[in-house]
A and B are shown apart, each in its own frame.
Chain A
C-alpha cells in the first residue's frame, strides 16, 4: 500500500508512547491467548474422550466396588471388556509433584481403552513384573524417567501393608498416546500389586472401566449395568467417560464464563487506553493533518488514514501477543498433555483486534475528518 509509510510514520510519531501502548496491547492479547487456549484445551480434552467407554462407580462416589461385580457386568449384552481401576494418586519426591498412577489389569487395558496405544511387548513386561510400571511420555519427560528407573511413589490414598504409603515401582516402558485415552498423562501399575499390598479395601476398586461395542447403546447399557446392582449394598452409577468429563468440568464452575468476563474487562480497559492515546495523537497532529488536507486529502481520506493507523497498530500488536501465546502451546502439550487448537483462537483474536481498532479509532478519526483546515493552519 503506497500509504503505508505515512501510516507507519503516524504511529511512530512518538516512539516511546507507541512502544508503551504496544506493550499494553500485546499484554492483553497474550492474556487472551493463554486464557482462551486453556479453555479450548479443556474443551478439547472433553471432546477427545471416547463414547464407547463407560465408567462404573459406586453411587456413593467415595465407596469402592467389589471386583466380583465385574463378572456380572461382563455378561450384560453389548459389553465387550471390563477392567478394574484403582487410582493411586501419589507424589514423587516433593509434595507438589503429583504422579497420577492407575492400578489396572494389563491383560484388559488395551481392550477397554480404544485410544490407548501400547506395544504388546510393553504389556507383557508389565505382566511379568509385579512391581512394574509403564508411563506416558509426558510424565517421563516431566520427571526425567527412563526404563529401568525405580520410582518410589508416595500414595495419598492407599496405605501399604508395611504401614507406609510408599509403593516402589520399576519403569518397564514409556508409551506415547495421542488422541483420547484415559491414561494420556498417567502411569500404569499392576492392580494385583496394589490390591495384595494394601491394608484396607482389598478386593475392590473405585472404578470399573467398561468397553462396549456400540457407542449409541451407551445409555441403555449403562442403565442395564446399574439395574444389576440397584437396591444392593453396592449400588452403581455408570456413565460414558465423556459425560463424566463434562460433569467434572461443570463441577468446577462455569470456567468459560469467568474467562470471557476477564477478557471482556481487559479489552474494555484497552479500548480506553488505545482510544485516549489515538485521540491525543490526532490532537497533537492538527497542523500536520491540516497540511494533508491542503495537499488535497479529502475529509474521508483523513478519517481513513486514522482508522488505518489504528488497524495497523492493533493488528501488529495482536499478532505479537497471540504469537507469544502460541509459543506456549507446544510447551503445554509437552508438559501437561494439553492440546490447544491455535487456529480458531487466532481468528477470534484478530477479530477482537479489528473490533478494538475500529471502536477506539473512530472518535479520533471523526475528529480528523472534521478538522477545519483554515482554523487549524491559523493555530486555532
Chain B
C-alpha cells in the first residue's frame, strides 16, 4: 500500500504540473489523436461495409446456389429443384405450414447515376411465398408490383442515387421497359440499393428459365447441417449450401481485406511517428523536472514510484488523444455514405473501433513513457539536485 500511496502522490504532483508544460504535452495528445483519427476513419470503411451487408442477415438463414458458380447471379436452379429444397429437412415453416423458402431470380442491370456515370445494380425477382422471409422489408411509398406486369419496386438508396427510379418513373433495363410502382426500405440493408420484381416476370423478361438462388429460413441455426447434407447428397441436385452470414462475409473478403490492410498499415506507420513524439514529450517532461524528481528520491520515494508515475502521465496524455481522435473520426465520417465498387454503405465508427483506439493509444503511451521513466528513476540524485 505504501507503494500505491507513493505512486499516487508523485503522479498527482506531475499531473498538477501538466499545465505548465502544455506545449509539449499537446504534442503527445495531438500526435495520438491524429493517428487514431486516420486509422479509425479508414477502418470505419471496412466496418461500415460489413455492417451494412450483414444487416438483416440472421443466424438461421441459409442460401442455396448452383454448385461451381463464381457469383450468385450466375446460378441456375430449376423450379423442381426449388421444390425439393423446400421439402428438405430442417426448413422452417410459417404459420400456414408452408416451407419458408424464397427462390429468387437475380439479374444485374445497368442504371445511370445522377451525374451520368453508369453503374450496375441487382434486380431480384421474388415469388409471393418468399415474402415472409423478409419481414423488415416494407414499402414507404407506392404499392407492390402485380404479377405478369413489368412493374418493380426500388430500394430507397437506389431510388435516390440513380435516374428514373422515382415513384411513377419508367425505366429501361436491358432493353425492357419497367414501371416503378413503389419504394421500399429494409432497415438499412444492402437490398435498399437494388430493385425487386415478380420472379416469373423477371425471368421471362431477361430470358432466364431458372432461379439463380434460393434463400431458406431454417428451423434453427443448428439445423443447417441436416439441411445441407440432405441437399448435397441428393443426386438430382447440383447445389452449394451456405449459411447466408458466412457467404456474405466471404464475398466481401477481398475487399475488406484490402481496406483493413491499408488501414492498419497506415495506422502502424503513423503510430510509430506518434510514438517517437510521445517519447520526446516524456523526455522533455522528465528533463524539466529533474530537480523535483531527484528531490523526491532524496526524500525517500522509491524508483518504482517514479517510473510508474511517468508511465501514468504518459498514458494520461495518450487517452485524451485517443478520445479526440475517435471523436474527430466520428464527427467527420460516421454515417457518411460511401459508394465503392457498386456498393453503397455508411461508414461506421463502431464500439469495436473505439476499443481498438484506446488500446493503440495505451500502447503508444506506454512506449512513450518507458525509456524516459527508466531514465527518471536512474538519475544520479546528487548531480540532479544541483541542476538548474
User: With an 8 A cutoff between CB atoms, is B110 at the interface?
Assistant: yes
A280 touches B284 (CB 8 A): yes
A268 touches B34 (CB 8 A): yes
Minimum CB–CB distance for A160 against chain B, Å: 11
Q: How large is the interface on A (under 10, 10 to 19, 20 to 34, 35 or more residues)?
A: 35 or more
User: With an 8 A cutoff between CB atoms, is B1 at the interface?
Assistant: no
A-chain residues with CB within 8 Å of residue B24 when the two chains form the complex = 276-277, 280
Encode contact with B along A269-293: 1 for CB under 8 Å, 0 otherwise. 1101100110110000000000000
For B31, give its contact among A61, A233, A252, A273 (CB under 8 Å).
Answer: A273
The answer for the CA separation of A30 and B284 in the assembled complex, in Å, is: 25
Minimum CB–CB distance for B121 against chain A, Å: 11
Minimum CB–CB distance for A356 against chain B, Å: 13
With known contacts A62-B71, A231-B175, A262–B108 Cβ distance under 8 A: no
Minimum CB–CB distance for B347 against chain A, Å: 12
B284 touches A62 (CB 8 A): no
B276 touches A24 (CB 8 A): yes
With known contacts A252-B340, A265-B38, A60–B27 Cβ distance under 8 A: no
Chain B residues numbered 160-180 whose CB sits less than 8 Å from any CB in chain A: 174-175
User: With an 8 A cutoff between CB atoms, is A28 at the interface?
Assistant: yes
Q: Which residue of A lies closest to B341 (CB)?
A: A251
B-chain residues with CB within 8 Å of residue A269 when the two chains form the complex = 30-31, 33-35, 273-274, 277
User: With an 8 A cutoff between CB atoms, is A372 at the interface?
Assistant: no
A253 touches B283 (CB 8 A): no
Which one of A17, A237, A269, A272 has the greatest number of beta carbons of chain B within 10 Å? A269
B174 touches A31 (CB 8 A): no
- Which residues does B use to contact A, with CB under 8 Å? 23-24, 26-27, 30-31, 33-35, 37-38, 42, 68, 70-71, 73-74, 107-110, 117-118, 120, 174-175, 207, 266, 269-270, 272-274, 276-277, 279-280, 283-284, 338-342
Given A60-B174, A237-B118, A265-B34, 6 more contacts at CB 8 Å? Answer: A24-B280, A59-B174, A60-B109, A61-B120, A268-B30, A269-B30
- Which residues does A use to contact B, with CB under 8 Å? 16-17, 20-21, 23-24, 27-28, 30-31, 35, 59-62, 156-157, 159, 231, 233, 235, 237, 247, 250-253, 258, 262, 265-266, 268-270, 272-273, 276-277, 279-280
25 example contacts (A-B, Cβ-Cβ < 8 A) are as follows A17-B284, A20-B283, A21-B280, A27-B276, A35-B266, A59-B110, A60-B174, A62-B74, A62-B108, A250-B117, A251-B341, A258-B42, A262-B266, A268-B30, A269-B34, A269-B274, A269-B277, A272-B27, A272-B30, A273-B280, A276-B23, A276-B27, A277-B24, A277-B27, A280-B24
